[in-house]
Amino acid sequence: MPSLWHFKVPQATRGATAQAPGEASGPTHLHIVHINGTTVSATDFVKLFTEKTFLEEEEYTGFLHPIDGVVAKYGLTKPLGYVMWFFGTTPSWMIMIGISFISRQIMSNRMNRRIAQRAPVQPPKSD
């Protein structure tokens, strides 16, 4: 779904203040405006910025915020991107075969442990 992301980046601080020089002084505000890709025109974009209608959309402050989110703060954007890329390019049948192999391995190990825990069967006594 096409969308327009509007970032309001805070002013960088200068000089010796409470923050390091060049560090942003506050959170980066993000408003995501979803657009109908079949009927959008240039006047719609002009209206978004002249009338500031993007501010009507709720500010995104979620887990995956590209600058202030938890994933970005811990430096996990690249690993998450690679994981998403892997699942996006891998065919679903290949993932299902992998899950099947893993689950069969787990169940096989459980069955072997159960068999080993059972008491050994005594051979019948011959009198």
pLDDT computed for residue 58 by the predictor: 92
pLDDT computed for residue 65 by the predictor: 92
Mean pLDDT by 10 residues, the chain (127 residues): 89 61 73 91 90 90 90 93 94 94 89 73 71
What would the DSSP string read from start to end of 47-94?
HHHHTTGGGGSPBP-STT-TTTSHHHHTT-HHHHHHHHHHHHHS-HHH
pLDDT computed for residue 121 by the predictor: 65
pLDDT computed for residue 78 by the predictor: 94
